[in-house]
A and B are shown apart, each in its own frame.
Chain A
Amino acid sequence: AQTVTQSQPEMSVQEAETVTLSCTYDTSESDYYLFWYKQPPSRQMILVIRQEAYKQQNATENRFSVNFQKAAKSFSLKISDSQLGDAAMYFCAYRSGDSGGGADGLTFGKGTHLIIQP
């Protein structure tokens, strides 16, 4: 079974600075996707960024980028120019590819609470 580990329960960063959230995962599959979800106080799950395992290039979405290290099974999220609106819980998640035989749906990590200090 796949597992996702987020070792930082809480991170704090000054507004406009850069912060990196860590995520590691364990799988025997070669076809899979990785995601970062943001959960603000409203508790809605908002997709921040996704990475296909077969792509070597790291995904980027505006101020959000990932450092995907497939051999190390590491998938960190970098937030540049942090803004007050970035304050939220961030969950790393894993999903098998369509051809995979692994678990259905998403497997989540425990989350990192990101605090933005003005």
Chain B
Amino acid sequence: EPEVTQTPSHQVTQMGQEVILRCVPISNHLYFYWYRQILGQKVEFLVSFYNNEISEKSEIFDDQFSVERPDGSNFTLKIRSTKLEDSAMYFCASSPTRGGEKLFFGSGTQLSVL
């Protein structure tokens, strides 16, 4: 079965630094998502992306966050100036449709901000 691939699996950074989390969605999918999960808490929606633009974003997704699909295969999440509270597992997901049957998740990137 095709997979969503995320790199790196772990990322450690200093507060105030920029980080880029990378994802390769499934090749024929059109909708892309980032979710995050702070340890011990529920999975929270950050942003959805379609047709090279953001289609929805949550309150969490403030000006420090941005997403990009630079080359037609990668889908990236950038955090401009990391804060301690950005420490979380970040999941990328993709889907062939906007709604419906299934979202395919990557295995996540654990971000630790020191």
Q: Which residues of A contact B (CB under 8 A)?
A: 31-33, 42-45, 47, 50, 52, 91, 95-100, 102-111
B69 CB within 8 Å of chain A: no
Interface string of B48-80 (1 = CB under 8 A from A): 100000011000000000000000000000000
B102 CB within 8 Å of chain A: yes
Partner of B100, one of A42, A97, A107, A108: A97
* Chain B residues with a Cβ closer than 8 Å to the other chain, count: 26
Chain A binding surface, main DSSP class: loop
Q: Which residues of B contact A (CB under 8 A)?
A: 31, 33, 35, 37, 41-45, 48, 55-56, 89, 91, 93, 97-103, 105, 107-108, 110
Partner of B41, one of A95, A105, A110: A110
Q: Using known A-B contacts A44-B105, A45-B105, A104-B48, determine if residue A98 contacts B100 with beta carbons closer than 8 Å.
A: yes
Q: How far is the CB of A34 from the nearest CB of chain B, in Å?
A: 11
Q: Determine if B103 and A98 form an interchain contact, defined as CB atoms under 8 angstroms apart.
A: no
Q: How far is the CA of A91 from the CA of B105 in the complex (A)?
A: 14
Q: Which residues of chain A have C-beta atoms less than 8 A from B97's C-beta?
A: 98
Q: How far is the CA of A45 from the CA of B93 in the complex (A)?
A: 10
Q: Which residues of chain B have C-beta atoms less than 8 A from A50's C-beta?
A: 101-102
Q: Determine if B98 and A106 form an interchain contact, defined as CB atoms under 8 angstroms apart.
A: no
Q: How far is the CA of A32 from the CA of B68 in the complex (A)?
A: 28
Q: Using known A-B contacts A96-B99, A98-B98, A98-B99, determine if residue A105 contacts B43 with beta carbons closer than 8 Å.
A: no
Q: How far is the CA of A110 from the CA of B41 in the complex (A)?
A: 7
Q: Which residues of chain A have C-beta atoms less than 8 A from B55's C-beta?
A: 104
Q: How far is the CA of A12 from the CA of B102 in the complex (A)?
A: 29
Q: How far is the CB of A10 from the nearest CB of chain B, in Å?
A: 12
Q: How far is the CA of A42 from the CA of B56 in the complex (A)?
A: 28
Additional A-B contact list (19), CB under 8 Å, known A45-B108, A104-B55: A31-B99, A32-B99, A33-B101, A44-B105, A44-B108, A45-B43, A47-B102, A50-B101, A50-B102, A91-B43, A97-B99, A98-B98, A100-B99, A103-B45, A105-B33, A105-B48, A105-B103, A110-B41, A111-B42
